[in-house]
A and B are shown apart, each in its own frame.
Chain A
Amino acid sequence: MKGDAMNSDARLESLAKRLGTEAAARLDVEATARKVVEQLREQPVRRTTWVPQTWLRIAAALVIVVGGAVVVSRLTPEHRAGVGSHGAHFVADDLNDLSADELRDVLAAFDEIISSDSVAVPEGSTDLHELDAQQLRAVLRSLEG
């Protein structure tokens, strides 16, 4: 039985080795080589196309990575805190540019705003001195508009 199987395998391999021998024998190898070389000469290998495609892929990957990093940083609490400090710094820069007279005018305007109804003073509070830090922040936010 085992011998039969081996014979069978050998026969199959022998048949496989004969497959395509006629097609191979008919092939004009020299003519094929000549045609291949001619075609390669007419349409040279464009190696340069590989480079831009690679650079494009690298650029696309960089955009994804940098974009993702920006989005993540904006969504993190640290960044939100940073936005607040940036705003405070911006206001401070503005104040630095003002003269003493201009600063007095700003304070006067601030007093007017404080005394007006537009400030969202928490219900039940009439004096800013009675407000805690959280309530004061709410007032300042309403002043920022």
Chain B
Amino acid sequence: MAQPHMVPAASDAALILAWQGGDEQAAAELVGRHARPLARFLAGAGAPEADVDDLVQETFIRVFRSVDRFRGQCQFRTWLLTIGGNVLKDFGRRAARRKVVPLDDGVRDAAGDPQAHAEASEAEALLAAGLKQLPRLQREVFLLRAQQGLEYEEIAAALATTPGAARVHYHHAVRRLKEIVE
């Protein structure tokens, strides 16, 4: 009996090249692969849940517009997540200018939306609140390491720092978060 022919999935690099050559399907495939991890990262970094969808789209648009600058210094997903961090930072600035309190504050706050609060465990809510208190770099290193499971070398390449510095940021973040969560 003949074995079914397995077509190997195209690598991210191949899809990027295809997109640069005008293949829209390649862009859609990249979105399909990485949208959910990006959404997790953004939500973990403090994005209001109601805005996660828009922020994911904005991140991908920014990524595809600047993909010429991606030199393969790290994995595509890691680069995508760091750009997501920039998009979230810009979103926070815009929200501050409009003086709109992000919905996430209500969701994450112990006195916030009761339904959302009930869905999240107390420890998760505390962790989320603790992450918001961390400096941005510590928060992103923590999420890239603990949530996304990346190595320090990979994190360092994406954030233009050294693996040692990434390790230090991670341990500072963990120490602060333990104090908050426990």
Contact = CB atoms under 8 A, between A and B. Distances in A.
B77 to A, nearest CB: 14
Given A32-B56, A41-B24, A45-B64, A20 B127 contact: no
A20 B44 contact: yes
Interface in B37-55: 37, 39-44, 47, 49, 52-53
A27 B53 contact: yes
Interface stretch (B1-9, B90-98, B139-147, B157-165): B139-147
Given A12-B127, A12-B174, A22 B64 contact: no
Given A24-B39, A41-B24, A30 B32 contact: yes
Contacts of A32: 31, 35, 53, 56-57, 60
Interface string A51-68: 000000000000000000
Contact of B181 (A15, A30, A36): A15
Interface string A1-39: 000000011011101111111111111111011111101
B35 A12 contact: no
Interface string B85-121: 0000000000000000000000000000000000111
Interface residues of A, number: 33
A119 to B, nearest CB: 70
B53 A40 contact: no
A120 to B, nearest CB: 67
B24 A20 contact: no
A39 B57 contact: yes
Nearest to B119: A22
Contacts of B31: 29, 32-33, 36-37
A24 B40 contact: yes
B123 interface: yes
Residue among B42, B43, B121 having the largest count of chain A Cβ atoms under 10 Å: B43
A90 interface: no
Contact of B43 (A12, A15, A23, A45): A23
A129 interface: no
B44 A19 contact: yes
A27 B44 contact: no
A27 B47 CA distance: 14
A37 B27 CA distance: 7
Contacts of B57: 32, 35-36, 39
A1 to B, nearest CB: 14
Interface of B: 24, 27-29, 31-32, 35-37, 39-44, 47, 49, 52-53, 56-57, 60-61, 64-65, 68, 119-121, 123-124, 127-128, 131, 142-143, 146-147, 149, 174, 177-178, 181-182
Interface of A: 8-9, 11-13, 15-30, 32-37, 39-41, 45, 47, 50
